[in-house]
């Protein structure tokens, strides 16, 4: 990843104490030295409305412009998210909608790795599948293997946010390695 130096993380949960925020921090700690990892928040972005987007207006809302600029610096993305109603959480989908618009979309053609954890049994498999049409439309390069689908999060994370499952940590590490390899293509 000689020319690629930055991975941006997005968390699909805005909840304090989110297992997915913990997962994203763990993923960021596994990014190799020499590559910057930054978690970019989006909790101040308004609901998408084309009347407030280009070309209908001269400029996007300030929070959206800031978000898009932070994404533009990324060479790749890691998304850690829960599953809401068998799909992508609304806040995350809204942020992606704002970032996806226009020929200047900071998401176009970039590698992305999705992972998730839940207290239930399915480990966010449906949320991850729901992202595939979005990635297809944006011509992104989703890193599909290995799948990081962590079920029963309450039994795998401790009170400090550490993941207690070495096998899962190894899977996350492999996913990040594959994401970095996708940047070299």
For the cut 70, the answer to whether the pLDDT of residue 55 exceeds it is yes
Average pLDDT score over residue span 42-62 = 95
Burial 4-31 (b: 16+ CB within 10 A, else e): bebbbbbbbbeeeebbbbbbbbbbbebb
pLDDT value at residue 5: 84
53-72 mean pLDDT: 96
Q: pLDDT at position 3, please? A: 60
**Average pLDDT along the chain:** 94
């Amino acid at each position: 990843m000689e020319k690629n130096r930055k991975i941006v993380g997005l968390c699909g949960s805005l909840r304090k104490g989110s297992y997915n925020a913990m997962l994203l921090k763990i993923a960021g700690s596994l990014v190799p030295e020499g590559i910057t990892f930054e978690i970019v928040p989006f909790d101040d972005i308004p609901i998408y409305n084309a009347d407030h987007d280009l070309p209908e207006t001269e400029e996007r809302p300030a929070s959206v412009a800031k978000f898009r600029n932070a994404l533009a610096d990324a060479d790749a993305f890691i998304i850690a998210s829960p599953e809401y109603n068998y799909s992508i959480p609304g806040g995350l989908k809204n942020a992606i909608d704002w970032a996806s618009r226009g020929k200047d979309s900071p998401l176009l053609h970039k590698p992305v790795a999705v992972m998730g954890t839940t207290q239930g049994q399915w480990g966010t498999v449906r949320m991850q599948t729901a992202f595939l049409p979005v990635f297809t439309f944006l011509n992104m390069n989703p890193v599909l293997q290995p799948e990081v689908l962590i079920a029963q999060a309450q039994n795998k994370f401790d009170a400090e946010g550490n993941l207690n499952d070495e096998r899962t940590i190894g899977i996350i590490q492999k996913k990040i390695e594959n994401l970095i390899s996708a940047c070299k293509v």
